[in-house]
Amino acid sequence: MNTHEKILTTAAFLFQKNGYHATGLNEIIKESATPKGSLYYHFPNGKEELVAATIKLMGDKIQHQIEEELAKNSDPVQAIKEFILDLARNFYEKDQENCFSISLLALETVSISESLRKTCIEVYDLWTDTYYQKLISSGFSSEKATELSLILQLMIEGAITISLIRNDTTMLVAVAEKIPILLQK
């Protein structure tokens, strides 16, 4: 892993876990064992450029993971339910591979800059579209799929948020159980 990647993955982990303001550049360079000069060489516009890059990185990575999980089951109800139960199962392994929420970052960006906020919205749109495609490919109408994919996005992000705050996966499981009634045609 080169310096650029090391900085990016470390930053992604810390930003996602502790948020933008609670994560210092010094913490990032210490954790990634890279000098400050390198950080500003690879991200000349500093913290904001770095966090924008990590949001995009996480957005893409998570989208692929969602896609992968949903592909395991042709039935969308079962696929999405299993995906959420999987989130619950892996919840307590808090490593780089197990972050499926950018809520903290996204909420912070609202009062940081419009461009960062926009970056977060694009990530949410990307994830929502992944659910949308699954629903479409299972015969849902475009209208229904649009509405339901947004609700799915909301419930999953909400369940992760509450699980993080409570440090307890009950709500993830509860949402998983609600998927059938939510997706009834």
Partner DNA sequence: TAATATGTAGACCAGTCATTATAATTATTA
Partner DNA sequence: TAATAATTATAATGACTGGTCTACATATTA
Indicate whether 3 belongs to the interface with DNA (CB under 7 A): yes
Of the candidates 89, 70, 90, 93, the one whose C-alpha atom is nearest the C-alpha of residue 183 is 70
The smaller minimum CB distance to DNA, of residues 33 and 121, is found at: 33
> Is residue 85 a contact partner of residue 173, using CB atoms and an 8 Å limit?
yes
* Residue 11: burial class (beta carbons within 10 Å; 0-12, 13-18, 19+): buried
Half-sphere CA count of 113, side-chain side, radius 13 A: 9
34 binds, options a copy of itself, DNA, none, Cβ within 5 to 8 A by partner type:
DNA
Using CB under 8 A as the criterion, which residues of the chain lie in contact with a copy of itself when the complex forms? 17-19, 21-22, 103-104, 106-112, 117, 120-121, 124, 147, 150-151, 153-155, 157-159, 161-162, 164-167, 170-171, 174-175, 178, 181-182
Q: Which positions ≥6 away from 71 have C-beta within 8 Å?
A: 79
What does the per-residue mask of binding to DNA show for 106-125, with x meaning CB under 7 A?
--------------------
Indicate whether 37 belongs to the interface with DNA (CB under 7 A): yes
Minimum distance of a copy of itself from residue 98's CB (angstroms) = 15
